[in-house]
Amino acid sequence: MIEAHSLTRTFGARRRPTVPLAGVSHLFGDGTLTYLLGLNGTGKSTLLRCLSGVLRPDSGTAQVDGRELGRTDAPARHLGMYLDADAFHPGHSGRRHLRWLAAQTGVPAHAVEALLRRTGLEAVADRPVRGYSLGMRQRLGIASTLVGNPRNVILDEPMNGLDVAGVLWLRGLLRAWADEGRCVIVASHDLAEVEATADTVLILEGGVIVARGTVDEVRGPHANLETAFLAHVPRAAGALRVRGAA
Ligand SMILES: Nc1ncnc2c1ncn2[C@@H]1O[C@H](COP(=O)(O)OP(=O)(O)OP(=O)(O)O)[C@@H](O)[C@H]1O
Within 8 A by CB and 6+ apart from 23, the residues are 6, 7, 8, 60, 207, 208
Q: Tell me if 139 is assigned to some domain.
A: no
Distance between CA 43 and CA 119 in Å, rounded?
A: 29
Ligand 1, atom 29, lies closest to the CA of 41
Query: Is the CB of 188 inside a 6 Å radius of any atom of ligand 1?
Result: no
Within 8 A by CB and 6+ apart from 73, the residues are none
Predicted ipTM?
A: 0.97
CATH code where residue 28 lies: 3.40.50.300
Beta partners for residue 211, in sequence order: 203
Q: What is the pLDDT of residues 23-48, one digit of tens each?
A: 999 999 999 999 999 999 999 999 99
Domain total in the chain: 1
Within 8 A by CB and 6+ apart from 32, the residues are 178, 183, 184, 199, 200
Q: Tell me if 145 is assigned to some domain.
A: no
Identify the domain containing residue 47 by its residue range.
2-87+151-242
169 CA to middle of ligand 1, Å? 29
Q: Tell me if 72 is assigned to some domain.
A: yes
Please, is 226 exposed, middle or buried when counting C-beta atoms within 10 Å of its C-beta (0-12, 13-18, 19+)? middle
Query: Is the CB of 41 inside a 6 Å radius of any atom of ligand 1?
Result: yes
For 56-68, give one letter per residue: b (16+ CB within 10 A) or e.
ebeebebbbbeee
* pTM recorded for the entire structure: 0.93
Q: Tell me if 95 is assigned to some domain.
A: no
Distance between CA 198 and CA 180 in Å, rounded?
A: 15
Q: What is the pLDDT of residues 201-235, one digit of tens each?
A: 999 999 999 999 999 999 999 999 999 999 999 98
Q: Tell me if 101 is assigned to some domain.
A: no
